[in-house]
Structure 1
Amino acid sequence: MNIAITPNFLSLQTLNVNLTQVCTIVIVAVGMTLVIATGGIDLSVGSLMAISGALAPMIFMGTILGIDPVWLAVTVAIIISVGVAGLLGAFNGWLVAKFDIQPIVATLVLFIAGRGIAQVMTNGNLQVFHVPEFQFIGLGRVFGLPFQAIIMAVIVIGAAWMFRRTVFGRQILAVGGNQNAAVLSGVPVSRVKIAVYTISGLLSGIAGLIVIAINSASDANLVGMGMELDAIAAVAVGGTLLSGGRASIWGTLLGAMTIQIVRYTLLANGVPDAAAMVVKAAIIIAAVWLQRKARTS
């Protein structure tokens, strides 16, 4: 079993399937990369996707607000949904920065409560819709390219540029590398932490909208389920130190694509998805082991 014998692996259809399935993972993983680079972790990304995905249809279908015309309702829905996810991300950052709560504990709050909030918002009901103006973000194409892939590319390029060219990017790495030294150097540690969790929330909100646009439905029980693990896996496989202080956006992209290709190859060769998840876990363990070996050598 390998890529070479996977049926139609190099076909345009297969490449398109892998690309569209990896976009949301990459988008969330970029935010996760920023958080992990500061020495943190964000377990709430999947729940924030669910909240964003639950709120948007309620707005553009008129359950709340009742805005016309449709294009305006869609615009407002996107802005508010992503904004709410960003505010909840900022709440995570506030808990971490102001109360010095361990990130895994701080973000566990919304990991648990966030999905419950989304379920309460929708009464646990599936929201089915047909709104082409909104669904374009998940199903539309520009010059033959999936629009969601264009969104992903803009986010990846922007984040990579930020790390290489901006003071904020250097501050993120400084906080993750040695927080005490960063404080002495005048880095606004609290603001940096709140900012990265806010960005993670915003990107999770965007990913949640793409998911429901693809499915033409929003299910608060399923949207974003397990996404935190996929994002962390992409970051780890991509070479970003889980202890903070070093980050690679391009590595995160390659990590997400590697995991997706391995999963697709296994499924295409008749390996059950449960077994594919075990292989993915093995890849994560190997990536962490290699990081540890590199640090001690």
Structure 2
Amino acid sequence: MTDTARQQRVSRPLDLFEFMARYGTLIALALLILFNFAFTRNFATMQTLNVNLTQVCTIVIVAVGMTLVIATGGIDLSVGSLMAISGALAPMIFLGKIVPIDNVALAVAAAMIIAIGVAGLFGLFNGWLIARFRIQPIVATLVLFIAGRGIAQVLTNGNLQTFRVPEFQWIGLGRLFGVPVQVVLMVLLVIAAAFVLKRTVFGRQIIAIGGNERAAELSGIAVAKVKLIVYAISGLCAGIAGLVVIAINSSSDANLVGMGMELDAIAAVAVGGTLLSGGKATIIGTLLGAMTIQLVRYTLLANGVPDAAALVVKAGIIVLAVWIQQQGRAA
């Protein structure tokens, strides 16, 4: 066997891994859909579609911000707690628990703006800790992962807040030209983030920082500023997701809103093809990753597999996705 033939033979598995790293999530999603059409009862119904969309939209909204953070080589463990803060604060405002506001529309608008803004400020705080003091992102965001939910519980005294305010719940239950509002929000965020990453200087700066932060600094990129912005965006996305969740549930429970969301968002990013080490990101991949994970869980539950087992399968998918990414990079 010649050296050229030997090299080609050795390279074939790596080429396959590279192909799977690029298209594996899309292929897996397509196979899951085909499997469910063939073997899962009532899969091809609007009710099933609505259930899966409701579950996946909030994950994608949070994962959009998480993708930008991870692209810089960071991580954000605080998103679930920021959802809880946003979800706790909004009802307090539109129900008049802080300052009575007679106009319902004004109260709802103020609640949304303030709740999302506060979540964004907490995200900015994460970025400040990381950029100013060079604290490891996993440590810096762990602060609000722990304290953030405590803040939400203090705001509500640990009590469940129930409400029936259609003007607010429109964000989670309303429809725009027949399409759920939360789906519209998700699509707009995905398009905006994909555009930023692919078509703007800021997007290229994010990727450059994740690829080699020191080189990015030497090339004149304001690394600290970029990190502040991406963590603030992650906080804003978490704030929006928190409002969607409580709107759907007609209630806000600081103990439960956003619980485990940081793990779902990171999983969606990883399965979608964004490198967890930074330097490469794909928003569309994140969307496909979230849809794949949700559909895996739905498929298992719909076919009688316990939820605990579904969680194990999800963990296995993440490990497999990261391993394929590593092999694809080696190719």
Amino acid across the alignment from 2:147 = A
Could you tell me which residue of structure 2 aligns to residue 123 of structure 1? 157
Could you tell me which residue of structure 2 aligns to residue 293 of structure 1? 327
Partners of 2:220 and 2:99 lie apart in 1 by: 45
Partners of 2:199 and 2:99 lie apart in 1 by: 41
Could you tell me which residue of structure 1 aligns to residue 318 of structure 2? 284
Amino acid across the alignment from 1:134 = F
Partners of 1:256 and 1:69 lie apart in 2 by: 38
2:139 aligned to which of 102, 105, 108: 105
Amino acid across the alignment from 1:200 = S
Amino acid across the alignment from 2:142 = L
Aligned partner of residue 214 in structure 1, secondary structure: helix
Could you tell me which residue of structure 2 aligns to residue 212 of structure 1? 246
1:170-221 Cα deviation digits (max 9, x unpaired): 0000100000110011100000001000000000000000000000000000
Aligned partner of residue 247 in structure 1, secondary structure: coil
Could you tell me which residue of structure 1 aligns to residue 204 of structure 2? 170
Quick check: 1:227 aligned with 2:261? yes
1:155 aligned to which of 175, 189, 192: 189
Could you tell me which residue of structure 2 aligns to residue 9 of structure 1? 43
Amino acid across the alignment from 1:104 = I
After TM superposition, give the deviation of residue 142 of structure 1 in Å.
1.1
Partners of 2:95 and 2:318 lie apart in 1 by: 41
After TM superposition, give the deviation of residue 68 of structure 1 in Å.
2.1
Larger radius of gyration: 2
Quick check: 1:269 aligned with 2:299? no
Partners of 2:320 and 2:45 lie apart in 1 by: 30
Partners of 1:152 and 1:22 lie apart in 2 by: 9
Partners of 2:103 and 2:271 lie apart in 1 by: 45
Could you tell me which residue of structure 2 aligns to residue 143 of structure 1? 177
Amino acid across the alignment from 2:186 = M
Count, aligned residues: 297
Length-normalised TM-score, structure 2: 0.89
2:96 aligned to which of 57, 62, 65: 62
The answer to which of 268-277 and 32-41 deviates more is 268-277
Structure 1: gaps spanning 5 or more residues:
none
Partners of 2:79 and 2:63 lie apart in 1 by: 9
Could you tell me which residue of structure 2 aligns to residue 24 of structure 1? 58
Quick check: 1:244 aligned with 2:278? yes
After TM superposition, give the deviation of residue 119 of structure 1 in Å.
0.4
Percent of residue pairs identical: 76
1:187 aligned to which of 209, 218, 221: 221
Partners of 1:243 and 1:10 lie apart in 2 by: 38
The answer to which of 8-17 and 97-106 deviates more is 8-17
Length-normalised TM-score, structure 1: 0.99
Partners of 1:256 and 1:198 lie apart in 2 by: 22
Partners of 2:296 and 2:114 lie apart in 1 by: 36
Could you tell me which residue of structure 1 aligns to residue 235 of structure 2? 201
Aligned partner of residue 119 in structure 1, secondary structure: helix
Could you tell me which residue of structure 2 aligns to residue 71 of structure 1? 105
After TM superposition, give the deviation of residue 12 of structure 1 in Å.
2.0
Partners of 1:15 and 1:120 lie apart in 2 by: 37
After TM superposition, give the deviation of residue 296 of structure 1 in Å.
2.0
Aligned partner of residue 73 in structure 2, secondary structure: coil
| Structure 1 ranges of 4+ moved more than 4 A | none
